[in-house]
Chains A and B, each alone.
Chain A
Amino acid sequence: MKCDVCDSEATVFLTQIINGQMTTVNLCDACSKAKGVTDETGFGLAEAFLSQPPPAISAETTCPACGFTAAQLKKIGRMGCPECYGTFREGLDGLLKSMHKGTRHVGKVPHQIVTQNALVGNLGHLREELASAVRDERYEDAARLKSEIDLLQAKLPSHA
C-alpha cells in the first residue's frame, strides 16, 4: 500500500474513530514521523492531517507576522504563529465547527487577560469622565483623570 503523502511504501496505518466515523490514513515511516502520528500523546492527527483550509482563503494569503502562507496551511494543517489565526480567520468557524463542540472558548482565562480586561474597562470609564470634565471646563479634574489614564495605560501591554 502507498503512503497517502509521498507514494512511498506505507508502513504505518492509523485508524481513528471520531464521532463514530472511521478514518484511515496510510503513511510511510518518514511521513508518519514528520506528521507525528506515532506520538501516542498526539490526538486528532488524522483529522488535522486531512483537514483542508477553508475555501474562503485565497492561496496567496500570507501572514504578515510570520510569512506563513495558505498553501503551507493546506499542506501541514497547522498554523505558523499565533497571529495566523487572525490572518486566516475567514472561514475558520466552519473548520472549527467540524472539530469541536463550539466555536467560542468558555474555559480557563489567563489572569493577565482578566486583569487586562478590567484595566481596559476602567480606561473606557475614565476616558468618558475625562471627556465630560473637558466639556464642563473642569480642568483640574481633567488633569487628574489624564494622569490616571496615563498610569493605567502604562500597565497595559503596548499592542493591547
Chain B
Amino acid sequence: MRFTTLIKHPADWMKGSGPHSDVVMTSRVRLARNLRGFSFPGYSAERQRVELLELARPCVESLPEMTDGYSEEYTGLTKIRKQVLVERHLVSREHAARAAGCAVVVDRKQSLSIMINEEDHFRIQGIRAGLNLRSAYALVDKADTALESMLPYAYDDRLGYLTACPTNLGTGMRASVMLHLPSLVLSDQINPVIKAVGKIGLAVRGLYGEGTEALGNLFQISNQHTLGEKEGEIIAQIEKVIERVVSSEMNARQKLLEDSPTMLQDQVGRAFAILRYAHILTSKEALNLLSLLRLGADMDLIPNCDRSLLDMLLLEIQPAHLQLSAERELSPEERDARRAEITRARLQMLTGPSNVSASNSTSEEKPSDSNDE
C-alpha cells in the first residue's frame, strides 16, 4: 500500500466508537521485543541495525494482519510524512527522528503497527476506539506469537522479555488510555484525580503540551510497572481505574449542567463561534476550543454534531497533516491560517448550539446569573 492511500483513509479507531467513547478516545497496547545476538538499536552501529532490519522486515510483512499493509523504510520518507505517521499515533516521535535501519509496517486498518529499530528492535502497537484494552492486547499478542515463531527473541526466565530500558522488562507491555476530561478540568477536580491515579502505580500525562499543562483536556493514563504482574492483571487494573475516572467525568458533566448551565452554554457557544469564523487559529487555541465543542456535542448542546467529525478534525489540523494536504512546507503563520480555513469548512454543516434550548433550560436561574444590571 502506498503512503497516500494509507493516509487518505481514516484509521479504524477514528471512525468507530467503543465503550465509553464520549470520554475515552483510544486504548493502546504496545509490546517491546528484542532479538538475541543483536545490540539494542540505541547502542548498535548502523550496519547492525540494517542487518537486523533485513532479517526482521520480511517476517513482519509476512504476518497475515499485514497483508496489503503499508511498509516503509525511513530513508524513503520525508520529514513531513514521518511526522504525519506520528500524528496518527502509528509511530513514536523518537522513532520518527531516526533514519537508516528503521522501518514501520502498518496494517490496512491502521490498528496494528510494528516499528523496527525503535528503542527496542520491535515495538508492536495495537490501537482501538474507546475503552478496549483487551481487544488491543489480543491484536498485539497474536502478532507477537507469530513473530516469535520466526525470530529468536531475547528472553530470560527471571526477567522476562529483555528490553533496552529496565523500566520495560518483564512483559514489555505498556497499556495506555487516552481520555478527554473537560468537565473535571472546568470544575477544578482534575488534580485530585491525577494524584489518586498516580498513587496506585499508574502514570498520568497530558497528551500535548509540556509539564503539567494539558492541552485540549486530553490525558493519557498508562501502567508504570511491567515486571512482576501478568498482562491480564495489568490491563484489568487499568480498566478498573479508567471506569472510575470515566464516572467522575460523567458526574462532573451532570453537575455542570445542573449547577452552571449558563457558563457551560457560554463556553460551548464561544468555542463554536470562534472555530466557525476565525481566520487564524494556533494549534493550542484550536485544541482547547475543539475540546469544548466535543463536550458540547457529547452533551447534546450542539444538535447533530457527530463526535467523529471533531476527532477527524483534531487530526487534520495538526502541523504535518496541514503541510501534507498543502503539499509543501508551511510557515507557522501559514499553518494557523490554513488550520482556520479547514476548521471553518468542516463546521459549516453544523447549525451551532441551539439557542432555544439554552433559554429554556436557563430561564429559572437567569436573574441570579445576570450581573449586568
Contacts and interface: CB of A to CB of B under 8 A. Distances in A.
Contacts of B165: 44, 48, 77-79
B227 A108 contact: no
Interface string A97-141: 001111111111111110000000000000000000000000000
Contacts of B3: none
B118 to A, nearest CB: 9
Chain A contact residues, majority secondary structure: loop
B158 interface: yes
B51 to A, nearest CB: 14
A40 B207 contact: yes
Contact residues on B (Cβ < 8 Å of other chain), bracket: 35 or more
B39 A17 contact: no
Contacts of B228: 100-106
B154 interface: yes
A39 B115 CA distance: 14
B205 A16 contact: yes
Interface string B230-242: 1100000000000
Interface in B201-243: 201, 203-205, 207, 210-212, 220, 222, 224-231
B42 interface: yes
Given A42-B92, A82-B154, A110-B155, A20 B43 contact: no
Contact of B40 (A36, A39, A78): A78
Contacts of A111: 145, 148-149
Nearest to B200: A19
Contacts of B42: 76, 78
Nearest to A159: B36
Contact of A13 (B28, B155, B164, B210): B210
A95 B166 CA distance: 9
Nearest to A35: B94
Nearest to A113: B155
Contact of A110 (B148, B194, B205, B220): B148
A19 B231 contact: no
A8 B61 CA distance: 43
Given A36-B119, A101-B201, A43 B211 contact: no
Contact of B230 (A14, A68, A92, A106): A106
Contacts of B153: 110, 112
B160 interface: yes
Contacts of B201: 18-19, 101
A55 interface: no
B43 A68 contact: yes
A152 interface: no
Nearest to A72: B43
Nearest to A38: B93
Interface residues of A, number: 52
A157 interface: yes
A96 interface: yes
Contacts of A147: none
A17 B194 contact: yes
Contacts of A103: 158, 227-228
A105 B170 contact: yes
B148 A47 contact: no
Contact of A102 (B38, B125, B166, B229): B229
B43 to A, nearest CB: 4
Contacts of A33: 94, 97
Contacts of B161: 105
A77 B170 CA distance: 17
10 A-B pairs with the lowest CB-CB distances in the bound complex, closest first: A102-B228, A105-B160, A82-B154, A17-B198, A101-B228, A36-B94, A100-B227, A44-B167, A107-B171, A39-B94
28 contacts: A15-B212, A38-B94, A40-B93, A41-B28, A43-B174, A43-B176, A44-B203, A68-B39, A72-B43, A78-B43, A78-B119, A80-B39, A80-B40, A81-B38, A82-B36, A85-B162, A96-B169, A99-B224, A99-B227, A101-B201, A104-B158, A105-B159, A105-B161, A106-B228, A110-B153, A112-B148, A112-B149, A157-B152
Given A81-B44, A107-B173, A111-B148, 13 more contacts: A13-B211, A40-B92, A41-B174, A42-B94, A44-B168, A47-B167, A85-B156, A95-B166, A100-B170, A105-B157, A106-B229, A107-B229, A113-B157
Interface of A: 12-20, 24, 33, 36, 38-44, 47-48, 51, 66, 68, 72, 76-82, 85, 92, 95-96, 99-113, 157
Interface of B: 28, 30, 34, 36, 38-40, 42-44, 89, 92-95, 97, 119, 123, 125, 141, 144-145, 148-149, 152-162, 164-171, 173-174, 176, 194-195, 198-199, 201, 203-205, 207, 210-212, 220, 222, 224-231
